[in-house]
Structure 1
Amino acid sequence: MLEGYPRNRMFMVLGILVACTIIIIIIESNISVREENFQPQVVIENNSTCWLREDYEVIEECHPCTEFEVVSKSLGVCINTHYKELLRCKSGEIVTRSCDHVAAIERRNLIIFTVVCGAIGFIFYLLVCWRERVLYRRVQMKIERQLNRPLLL
């Protein structure tokens, strides 16, 4: 199917696909949900509501809960979202609240997915080039056999 296309055209199409992938990644990384309109569903520990009514400082960014915290349900904020962040309220109280997925983990997973898809595409490109050479050799052998065949009159 692809044997009819010249190698330059295949490289051009591959380059266009890579460029489109990079553009899509850049656009998706710049799109963000507006925080004023976004009300995340947050699970609160019984004693930790100070961050709702006063200023707070984020001590630890949003990160995954440990398997023990999720399975044992020892930390209530890890039950629903499996992610937590540590805050220090202005009053000095340190609280833990649940948060949405970690952006760095999502970005890493997207990069891994993109690299794997690119590697698979490159492997199949090499497979197509190999198949093209095999078919070309077969045609050359067939032509050579026809030319070397004695003429019957």
Structure 2
Amino acid sequence: METLIVLFGAFTLTLLIIWLLTKRLELRFSGRVAMAIMLVFTAVGHFVFTKGMIMMIPFLLCPNMIVIFTGVIELIAAIGLLLPNTKVLTGKLLILFFILLFPANVYAAIHNINLRTADYTGEGVSYLWIRIPMQLLFIGWVYFSTTKQSKIKIVNQ
């Protein structure tokens, strides 16, 4: 849930700052900034809650390296979303990344893994009722904020 608070909070704050400075409503740019901030937030989790995240992927070889590597990928993606020349490619790769990570979330839910405490006191399968729509939101968010479409511009008259 914290990720949603970070995502929507950063989006709202970015929209507000841009609006106050330019009187423009930059939805896509604000979306990319918010996703980048959220990715930094979640990447930190890969380094702080490594043991719990390792428990989410016991079926893979070298789970410790994978957890660290995916945290680094999230940091690189955060930067890529903010660079005009890489935002589209980063968006496509990030959507693929979110799809590839989803089985680990399913595994964690089925096995009641609590990634923060690295034990089996997690929310269980009911967590998927939140996680599935959240994953779809992230994918849609990245798609919308990285595709080339006309900007929405509101001018104060």
Q: TM-score, normalised by structure 2?
A: 0.23
Greater strand content: 1
Higher Cα radius of gyration: 1
Higher normalized contact order (CA 8 Å, seq sep 6+, divided by chain length): 2
Greater helix content: 2
